């Protein structure tokens, strides 16, 4: 397949992502909707799992709260109140989740909302499976401090999931399906017995093709992940910090 030649040009990730904050503050309704979809895609799983653990909510209650929280971001303009000089966006949003759940508790009701729910698909069943589907025992719930770390780790995990999906679509668009399969098998599957030699034998290609394909896939994955990160940071300075501290990458 000629499209799997990693030396071809013109098929890099387009660096066109705009900050979610800029989009959320736009006068263009379509841009604001895009911002909410982007934010929801990056944060709904961490929010859902955090609500399940931190607030000991059953799955249906956590689902309602998760959906309600993202609607509140729209209705109350919470992104407009965020100051990137004072905190990271992910920290601000986690604190907003805590405030939202507390207010729902005080109201002693779950408010069903509609109309402006983000369009991003929320696969709660998959998120519950990742949690193990276990009934939450209050005695086993981690401390709030460790749950802060949990929220951040889930945020990073979600970011990588989005970047992997971006790479998959990118490879499909440029006829590099084999390159993505190589990346899946070597970098994602967690099989310690896999090797470049085994992949070359499995796919019937030269070892150099495996080496070049994986180098290209990792480079484009890195590029795409950084662009995803840039989009959901509150400022360029925050993006630089997050790229170094969370991923250990220079933002270049």
Residue 8 lies in a domain: no
> 4 in a domain, yes or no?
no
78 and 36 in one domain? yes
In a domain, 7, yes or no: no
Which tens digit of pLDDT belongs to each residue from 208-227? 999 999 999 999 999 999 99
| Residue 3 counted as domain residue | no
Which parts of the chain fold into alpha helices (H)?
A: 20-24, 29-54, 59-75, 89-107, 124-131, 144-173, 177-183, 196-203, 207-231, 236-245
Q: Which residues, 6 or more positions from 61, have their beta carbon under 8 angstroms from its beta carbon? A: 110
User: What domain range includes position 129?
Assistant: 16-137
234 DSSP 8-state letter: S
The answer as to whether 5 is a domain residue is no
Judge if 106 and 194 occupy the same domain. Answer: no
Report the C-alpha gap between 132 and 216 in whole angstroms. Answer: 35
Q: What is the pLDDT of residue 216?
A: 97
Contact 166, 158 (CB under 8 A): no
**Per-residue model confidence (pLDDT) at position 5:** 54
Q: Dihedrals φ, ψ of 76, to 5°? A: -100, 0
Model pLDDT, residue 19: 76
State whether 173 and 130 are in the same domain. no
Which residues are within 8 A (CB) of 79 and not within 5 positions of it... i.e. 6 or more apart? 20, 21, 24, 25, 35, 39, 73
Mean pLDDT across the chain: 83
Q: Is residue 86 part of a domain?
A: yes
Are 70 and 116 in contact by the 8 Å Cβ rule? The answer is no
pTM given for the model:
0.78
Residue 164 shares a structural domain with residue 115: no
Does residue 1 sit within a domain? no
Residue at a domain's end among 76, 108, 137: 137
Residue 143 has pLDDT above 80, yes or no: no
113 and 64, same structural domain?
Answer: yes
Residue that finishes a domain, picked among 137, 155, 183: 137
Residue that terminates a domain, selected from 116, 137, 158: 137
The pLDDT value recorded for residue 10 is 52
Taking CA atoms, 43 is separated from 6, 37, 106, in Å, by 33, 10, 24
CA–CA gap between residue 52 and residue 129 (Å, rounded): 13
pLDDT tens profile 75-108 = 788 888 888 888 889 999 999 999 999 998 877 5
Which positions ≥6 away from 156 have C-beta within 8 Å? 246, 247
User: Is 2 among the domain residues?
Assistant: no
Domain tally for the chain? 2
């Amino acid at each position: 397949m000629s499209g799997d030649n990693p030396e071809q040009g013109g098929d890099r990730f387009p660096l066109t992502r705009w900050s979610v904050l800029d989009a959320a503050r736009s006068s263009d309704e379509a841009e604001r909707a895009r911002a909410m979809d982007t934010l929801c895609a990056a944060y709904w799983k961490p929010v859902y799992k955090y609500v399940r653990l931190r607030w000991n909510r059953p799955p249906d209650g956590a689902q309602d709260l998760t959906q309600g929280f993202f609607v509140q971001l729209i209705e109350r303009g919470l992104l407009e109140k965020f100051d990137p000089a004072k905190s990271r966006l992910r920290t601000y949003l986690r604190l907003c989740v805590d405030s939202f759940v507390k207010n729902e508790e005080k109201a002693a009701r779950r408010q069903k909302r509609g109309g402006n729910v983000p369009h991003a698909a929320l696969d709660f069943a998959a998120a519950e499976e990742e949690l193990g589907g276990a009934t939450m025992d209050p005695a086993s719930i981690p401390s709030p401090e460790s749950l802060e770390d949990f929220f951040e780790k889930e945020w990073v995990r979600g970011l990588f999931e989005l970047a992997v999906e971006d790479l998959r679509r990118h490879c499909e668009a440029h006829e590099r399906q084999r390159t993505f399969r190589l990346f899946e098998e070597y970098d994602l599957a967690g099989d310690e017995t896999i090797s470049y030699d085994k992949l070359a034998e499995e796919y019937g290609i030269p070892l150099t093709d495996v080496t070049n394909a994986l180098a290209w896939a990792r480079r484009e994955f890195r590029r795409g992940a950084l662009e995803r990160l840039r989009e959901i940071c509150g400022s360029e300075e925050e993006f630089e910090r997050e790229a170094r501290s969370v991923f250990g990458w220079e933002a270049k």
